[in-house]
Amino acid sequence: NLRRAMRRETELLLETVAREDRSMLDLLAADYTFVNERLARHYGIPNVAGSHFRRVPVTDPNRRGILGHASILTVTSQSNRTSPVTRGKWILENLLGAPPPAPPDEVPGLEETRLEGTLRERMIQHRRNPVCASCHQAMDPLGFSLENFSPLGEWRTVDAGFPVDAGGAMPDGITTFEGVSGLRQALLDKSDVFISTLTEKLLIYALGRGVEYYDKPTVRDILRQAARRDYRFSALIEGIVTSAPFRMRTAD
């Protein structure tokens, strides 16, 4: 089953980072992954037979880390097309810790508007609406950089007869890049932001509550300590379990 294989690939990467105490930056830049025959065929990786998963080197830089995982690329797509908005929103929320606000109720969706051209062109027309522009200017360029991946995470250079334009930009509007490799490097250049976002999510799980403004110094302290150890999994976990919010938490 391809869907289960996609999910298992990502699970095995997470398990490996934890069990081998690797840098959490491997989630973005791992030069290895886990495939069985079905998933390898989906990715075009040769010489993999059987249903069992095995660790293989990633020779295609576009497939490194979770940004090249079909699991992520599929759940952030619609059934019949990619969704740069959803993909961009996922990156903002889960990798950059900057979730956009909910869209206004009165704004029609892309499918409900009479727009023409490629998906990218239609989305550019859509965000000319000033109500939409502020959020879409942050989300869309991130999502566009993943347009070389189909709704099922297959690599493509043409979409609906048009060459794929995978140019993207960070939310600052200044940092521009090309494709998933450029996006990955831009995120690695802001690795402290990514690790801070990851730390907050781990802290939320550990505390059983949201992270409040008064938890920010704790997050920064964990980040500083983890940086000295190359952001290894154990460094983040140790920082969380020895932090004051965790040690002083109370049971409901």
Residue 245: is its pLDDT beyond 90? yes
Cα 22 to Cα 233: distance, rounded to the nearest angstrom: 6
163-182 confidence digits (pLDDT tens) = 999 999 999 989 999 999 99
- What the block records as the tokens of 165 is 């334009």
Averaged pLDDT for residues 100-110? 68
9-23 confidence digits (pLDDT tens) = 999 999 999 999 999
Cα 194 to Cα 56: distance, rounded to the nearest angstrom: 25
Q: In the chain, how many H helices and how many E strands?
A: 12, 6
Residue 152 CB burial class (10 angstroms; 0-12, 13-18, ≥19) = middle
Q: How many CA atoms lie within 13 A of 4 on its CB side?
A: 6
What percent of the chain clears pLDDT 70, i.e. is strictly above it? 88
Q: What is the pLDDT of residue 221?
A: 97
3-state secondary structure of 34: strand
DSSP single-letter state for residue 158:
E
DSSP single-letter state for residue 167:
E
Q: What is the pLDDT of residue 195?
A: 97
DSSP string of 115-146, one letter each residue: --SSHHHHHHHHTTSHHHHHHHHHHHHHHHTT
- pTM for the structure as a whole: 0.89
Residue 132: is its pLDDT beyond 80? no
In this structure, are residues 175 and 193 in contact, taking their beta carbons and an 8 Å threshold? no
Q: What is the pLDDT of residue 164?
A: 92
Residue 6: is its pLDDT beyond 90? yes
CB atoms within 10 A of CB 251: 4
